[in-house]
Structure 1
Amino acid sequence: MSTTTAVGEKDPFVRLPARIIFTPRGLDLVGSSPSVKKVTSRDGLPKEGLESESYNAQTIQKLVMKSCIEEINVSLPDLLRKRFEIISTNNLIVYGVLYKKLTPSLARTLFESSVVKEYNRKNPKNSIVDLNHISPQKVEALQQNNPELIEGMKRNLREIITEKILGATSLNEEDQQARVRALPRFLDRVDPRIWFIFYVISHTGFKSAIERTFASMIYSYLQHTQIATHLSNLLMEFIQNAEKAHFERLIVRHGLADREAVDLFLRDAENRRKVTALAQKTMQMLELSWTMNPERNTIGQQYRILISISNYGLIDERLSQQLARKMKTNTDGISLASFYGSDEEDGKLGAGLGLLYNSYLEDICRQEGIQYRCNIYPEPKREKTTVRIDMTL
């Protein structure tokens, strides 16, 4: 498969060296590929998967949506230079789960809505109570014979929802733009059967009511995009802290600089290249992994994502407990700006912006009824310190 990209085209490949481990379902789908081999999981176990310097983003997202991927793990001497690729990977995983949950979530809300209940009351012979009761032949006929109608419905809803997003004073500009960008992709992933329901009901006296209901449903579901935004921010903050602790350990152990001079040492690009090469030579790697195991970790329509960031070096029990308490600090009313220029010591896991992003995520997940935990702990057997973010969408 060629990975050449023409000038001006978006590169479909994410240039992040990674091991991709498949679930049993994934192996049924791709197991015959000669690229599939034994690769090492985050826990050091041999698993069936792929190892590559890059991967096709669209293909991986489709595999996530089909519950075919158990884990994506990365092991590199440094991670910050791969910031864009890490955020892209995190987003495609989170959005893949959100796309997967979109149809059941919309269907549940739709069938519980007053407009569908009223339509069913007035049309008992043609009542709509379940997606599986809708004729596939009728859905296919609508798609083939009137594709412009579906595109017109999407376009109209996109205008209504975009106006609502941009008029929401409770949203900051970053969240507004994230939702506006995500909106067309979510509309394109709405199940054709749901568009069929919209079409049928909109051709009755319930046109404006079903339009309002649809716009409200999609607008509400787009709130989940905040999770991807803040999760990526939190992830990169923890990676920055882990990389600094990782480099500091190497620099001090190999006598490249005193602990107090580490920051100054790392500001020099050549020094940074030296310590990165040293990490590579001594196999002292930073580890990052996303685990999504539907067979063991998924219940019903809930999907669990486990993210781990590990660096060599252990924190003691006292510091572990101190950081655990810090993660629970009340940050109500604290803005991002208040963390710039802080006197707090740099590079400590759970400090600074990481604390604030963690608090934001906790608040968002609490409001949305999403299970969320973030822990920092030592792994003595691996001689590492690990941050673990655990989220069930």
Structure 2
Amino acid sequence: MMQTAPNLLPPRKDPFISLPSTIILTGAGMKFLGSNPSVQKVSNREGAHKEGLLSPSFNAQTVQKLIMKSMIEEIYVTQPELLSMRSAIISTNNLIVYAILYRKLSPALAKALFESRVVKDFNRKNPKHSIVDLKHVSQQKVEALQKQQVYAARLADIKRDIRELVTERILSSLNLTDEDIEARVKSLPKFIEWVDPRIWFVFYIIYNTDFKVQITNVFVNMLAAYLDHTRIATHLSNLLMEFVQNSEKAHLERIAVKNSLSTRDNIDKFIRSRENREVLKKISVHNNELIDLSWNMNPDRIATHSLSRIQIQVSNYGLIDESTAQRLARKMKSDVEGINLASFYSEGSADQLGAGLGLLYNSYLEEICRKEGIPYRVSIFPEPKKERTTVKIDMTL
């Protein structure tokens, strides 16, 4: 078994995530929440005026449901430091990825189900009752069935059996880390509950025929395969925290050197001091030179014809020159195993970004996304007008 990665968080007990954020609403979000007195004019990452919410914390489940319904465009955080909010950042990143996975679950299962051999065989033997598309399943009929005690109890038993079979499959896998196993087992019940009731209705009909074993195997295989996507949330959070860590280090270094509080030779020792970091944070706030972190999920603006694209950006003050950008880009595409994080730091003036990009998890994500056909790209680019450098992660689940 592989060693557990460092960014596994304990189960959440508090329903709120303490991450001071600006939550930008989509058009659909405004229609749903427009009358809420908390909605106000806010600025997004680019400084454009939008409608949204400002809050020191937010309800994780509520925000996740809004993302699932494409009602949130962006979650934007701007602070003098971010590492102290590590748990909240990871939780936010996970809830966003899982919201998209939940949203895509039923269409993916429906496609796999109707293309499966067992459903085709069932339809061939039952032409008068063939089921070829969820659109042919009456929502009203399913809702009426759900109110019947016998159907509800039987379906609950079936879901329990499916959960046990998928869990057994997960635990018996020899190719998963402890972290991957825990993430899948923990998330499985919620994935099962998010399956469209019409899919369970189709499953229930076929389950009560001679195709019981076959349809059960198909469903277990589909859920187990779909849970592979949970690895993406795990490794994406790890990669994001590497970027946040190095962005904050570069941010504090720049302030210290620019304000003659430390020489570059002594900078590591200087910023390790909590008192010194507090001084640097105050300067950061006074100068309004902060670290920005944003997640953008708006399909209308950044993901035409796609409801599953995530764009994550981490920005800090300081410019990166073209040669450094090219050197980092080459390292982004190389095997990062064994590379010391110090090798990613550039030497230069106080206005240049000491771009310490710990890319330990980038190779994992690239490999996972390549195997699963998921578009994934990480880029580093300067914003001269803002005197900032940004790392951007683009992924379409």
Shift of 1:19: 0.6
* SS of aligned partner of 2:147: helix
Shift of 1:349: 3.6
| 1:75 matched residue in structure 2 | 78
| 1:4 matched residue in structure 2 | none
Note if contact 1:22-1:68 (Cα within 8 Å) is conserved in structure 2. yes
| 1:100 matched residue in structure 2 | 103
Q: Runs of 4+ in structure 1 displaced over 6 angstroms?
A: none
| 1:363 matched residue in structure 2 | 367
Tell me how far apart the structure 2 counterparts of residues 242 and 230 of structure 1 sit (CA, whole Å). 18
1:281-320 mapped onto 2 (5 Å cutoff): 281-300=286-305, 302-320=307-325
* SS of aligned partner of 1:180: helix
Shift of 1:142: 2.8
Code of the residue aligned with 1:125 in structure 2: it is K
Tell me how far apart the structure 2 counterparts of residues 343 and 233 of structure 1 sit (CA, whole Å). 18
* SS of aligned partner of 2:38: coil
| 2:277 matched residue in structure 1 | 272
State which drifts further: 27-36 or 113-122.
27-36
Number of residue pairs matched by the alignment: 378
| 1:179 matched residue in structure 2 | 184
Shift of 1:296: 3.0
The one of 130, 133, 149 equivalent to 1:127 is 130
Tell me how far apart the structure 1 counterparts of residues 306 and 326 of structure 2 sit (CA, whole Å). 34
| 1:344 matched residue in structure 2 | 343
Note if contact 1:74-1:288 (Cα within 8 Å) is conserved in structure 2. yes
Instruction: Summarize deviations over 1:312-360 as a string: whole Å, max 9, x none.
Output: 00010110111111111135xx4xxx45x766356954644x2x31111
Query: Are residues 1:329 and 2:334 paired?
Result: yes
Tell me how far apart the structure 2 counterparts of residues 350 and 324 of structure 1 sit (CA, whole Å). 13
Query: Are residues 1:118 and 2:117 paired?
Result: no
Code of the residue aligned with 1:376 in structure 2: it is I
* SS of aligned partner of 2:61: helix
Instruction: Summarize deviations over 1:101-142 as a string: whole Å, max 9, x none.
Output: 011000000000001000001110000111111122331233
State which drifts further: 247-256 or 146-155.
146-155
Code of the residue aligned with 1:83 in structure 2: it is R
Q: TM-score, normalised by structure 1?
A: 0.92
Q: Which segments of 5 or more consecutive residues in structure 1 lack a partner in the other structure?
A: 1-7
| 2:252 matched residue in structure 1 | 247
Identical positions, percent? 56
Note if contact 1:297-1:303 (Cα within 8 Å) is conserved in structure 2. no
| 1:20 matched residue in structure 2 | 23
| 2:215 matched residue in structure 1 | 210
Instruction: Summarize deviations over 1:24-69 as a string: whole Å, max 9, x none.
Output: 1111111111111110110011111111111111111111001111
Instruction: Summarize deviations over 1:160-213 as a string: whole Å, max 9, x none.
Output: 111111111111111111111111110010011111111110100011111100
1:53-72 mapped onto 2 (5 Å cutoff): 53-72=56-75
Q: TM-score, normalised by structure 2?
A: 0.92
| 1:138 matched residue in structure 2 | 141
Tell me how far apart the structure 1 counterparts of residues 343 and 12 of structure 2 sit (CA, whole Å). 43
Q: Which segments of 5 or more consecutive residues in structure 2 lack a partner in the other structure?
A: 1-10, 347-353
Tell me how far apart the structure 2 counterparts of residues 294 and 342 of structure 1 sit (CA, whole Å). 35
Code of the residue aligned with 2:158 in structure 1: it is M
* SS of aligned partner of 1:344: helix
Query: Are residues 1:166 and 2:183 paired?
Result: no
Code of the residue aligned with 1:82 in structure 2: it is M
- 48 and 203 in structure 1: CA distance in 2 versus 1, 3 angstrom threshold: same
Query: Are residues 1:377 and 2:376 paired?
Result: no
1:250-265 mapped onto 2 (5 Å cutoff): 250-265=255-270
| 1:233 matched residue in structure 2 | 238
Note if contact 1:12-1:58 (Cα within 8 Å) is conserved in structure 2. yes
Root-mean-square deviation (CA, aligned residues, Å) is: 1.7
Tell me how far apart the structure 2 counterparts of residues 301 and 314 of structure 1 sit (CA, whole Å). 33
Query: Are residues 1:386 and 2:383 paired?
Result: no
Query: Are residues 1:39 and 2:42 paired?
Result: yes
Tell me how far apart the structure 2 counterparts of residues 342 and 64 of structure 1 sit (CA, whole Å). 35
